[in-house]
């Protein structure tokens, strides 16, 4: 297709065209000249983005149903957005992961940072799960699945349509099998010496959170001979890594029966069941009950869901992180360690640190920060998009 065959969308005169030229990947609806024609564009279609002086800037994917009206696909105006283009982006991402990991269990595509805006792909050996969280990816989903098979050789490709991101884009919640057959049992995933069980069809997100891998590894270094408490454990994240590293005992707390069942299955597969225990319940209630029981642990880690998924939820989210820190700090034995995590896009590291410090202080404890952790290298950060660096982890010695 020639450039003239694409519809055109144009920045308002006072919009920040320089940010787009310097790599910003998103254009919000209030930055564009919006008329009946632009409002009528098909979600997921490709357009040419122009600055206010009508100079073409990039090929973008548009979605009039989203506040993010346009996502930059390619700054090369001669690019052809097709299966070959997808293959090239996937191959570039795959090459880096192959250098970093000795087994094919990782996040293969981390959205904008890997050049496929709104797309998340996690790989589980011969299977891959796609979260197409932008309309353009839904439109090209068949090509994306076939490109994925071509680049990686996976035999199963699943679409996971759950999560807040798709609803914000006005997209359906219909998950599907795109290639092959859905696994009829959880997939065993080796990571940090532990074995995790990932439910690719019924679990949270794609089935497993790879982003915490380096933080699991750091916590495991503190866990030898330790009593470990893993709160908001999901499928046993920090607990199983700690046991693999030689922890004496680990207690995993979560509100989900299916997640804890997978954690127990992972402990069994890793040969650490005799040192592993689970407790189902609301994390705040369980921590309060443990305090009443006089329980103490050498290492406590809390990895809650996003308490502040948006700016509107920021203040309430920070109060929740402070409360987590206060309750958790009271369970740490003298000289023990506390790990606190946040996956909230709206909470930056400085604000998270203040909330954690306040909570620890309110518990009557003092501590030193010994490590600040982030997501692994398979979750690269796009420098022009702060949201891609969502994960923060603070480790204290109390």
Residues 153 and 13 in one domain: no
- Residue 103 Ramachandran class (φ > 0 left, ψ -120 to 50 alpha, else beta): beta
CA distances to 224, 226, 320, 322 from 330, in Å: 21, 17, 16, 13
Residues 56 and 126 in one domain: no
Catalytic residue from among 302, 341, 343, 356: 343
The boundaries of the domain holding residue 315 are 187-397
Alpha carbons 295 and 304: distance in angstroms, whole number? 21
Q: Which residue, 144, 179, 214, sits at the end of a domain?
A: 179
Residues 118 and 42 in one domain: no
| Residue 67 confidence (pLDDT) above 90 | yes
Residues 243 and 315 in one domain: yes
- The CATH number of the domain holding residue 41 is 2.30.130.10
pLDDT digits (tens, 9 = 90+) for 140-183: 999 999 999 999 999 999 999 987 888 888 898 999 999 999 99
Question: Any catalytic annotation for residue 343?
Answer: yes
By residue count, the chain amounts to 398
pTM, 2 dp: 0.94
- The CATH number of the domain holding residue 320 is 3.40.50.150
Residues 105 and 229 in one domain: no
- Beta-strand pair 105-110/119-124: antiparallel
Residues 198 and 287 in one domain: yes
| Residue 3 confidence (pLDDT) above 90 | no
Residues 67 and 161 in one domain: no
Summarize the confidence of residues 73-91 as an average pLDDT: 97
C-alpha 259: how far from chain center: 17
- The CATH number of the domain holding residue 142 is 3.30.750.80
Our count of domains for the chain comes to 3
pLDDT digits (tens, 9 = 90+) for 232-290: 999 999 999 999 999 999 999 999 999 999 999 999 999 999 999 999 999 999 999 99
Residues 66 and 140 in one domain: no
Q: Which residue, 179, 207, 232, sits at the end of a domain?
A: 179
Residues 160 and 229 in one domain: no
Residues 121 and 18 in one domain: no
Residues 329 and 210 in one domain: yes
């Amino acid at each position: 297709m020639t450039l003239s065959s694409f519809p055109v969308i144009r920045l308002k005169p006072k919009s920040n065209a320089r940010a787009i030229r310097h790599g910003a990947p998103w254009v919000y609806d209030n930055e564009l000249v919006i008329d009946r024609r632009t409002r009528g564009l098909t979600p997921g279609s490709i357009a040419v983005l122009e600055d206010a002086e009508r100079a073409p800037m990039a090929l973008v994917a548009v979605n009039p149903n989203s506040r993010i009206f346009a996502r930059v696909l390619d700054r090369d105006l001669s690019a052809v957005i097709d299966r070959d283009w997808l293959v090239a982006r996937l191959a570039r991402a795959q090459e880096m992961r192959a250098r970093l990991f000795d087994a094919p269990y990782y996040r293969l595509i981390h959205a904008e940072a890997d050049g496929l805006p709104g797309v998340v792909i996690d790989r589980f050996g011969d299977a891959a799960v796609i979260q197409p969280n932008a309309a353009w990816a839904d439109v090209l989903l068949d090509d994306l699945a076939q490109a994925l098979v071509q680049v990686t050789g996976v035999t199963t490709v699943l679409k996971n349509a759950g999560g807040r991101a798709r609803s914000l884009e006005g997209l359906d919640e219909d998950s599907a099998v795109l290639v092959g057959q859905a696994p009829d049992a959880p997939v065993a995933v080796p990571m940090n010496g532990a074995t995790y069980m990932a439910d690719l069809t019924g679990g949270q997100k794609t089935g497993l959170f790879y982003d915490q891998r380096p933080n699991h590894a750091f916590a495991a270094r503190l866990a030898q001979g330790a009593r470990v408490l893993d709160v908001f454990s999901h499928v046993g994240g920090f607990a199983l890594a700690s046991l693999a590293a030689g922890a004496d005992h680990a207690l995993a707390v979560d509100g989900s029966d299916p997640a804890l069942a997978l954690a127990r299955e992972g402990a069994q597969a890793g040969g650490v069941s005799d040192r592993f225990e689970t407790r189902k319940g609301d994390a705040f209630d369980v921590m309060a009950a443990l305090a009443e029981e006089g329980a103490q642990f050498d290492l406590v880690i809390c990895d809650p869901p996003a308490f502040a998924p948006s700016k509107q939820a920021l203040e309430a989210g920070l109060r929740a992180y402070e409360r987590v820190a206060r309750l958790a700090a009271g369970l740490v034995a003298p000289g023990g360690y506390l790990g606190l995590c946040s996956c909230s896009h709206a909470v930056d590291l400085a604000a998270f640190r203040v909330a954690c410090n306040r909570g620890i202080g309110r518990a009557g404890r003092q501590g030193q920060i010994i490590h600040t952790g982030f997501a692994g290298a398979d979750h690269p950060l796009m420098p022009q998009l702060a949201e891609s660096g969502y994960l923060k982890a603070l480790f204290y010695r109390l």
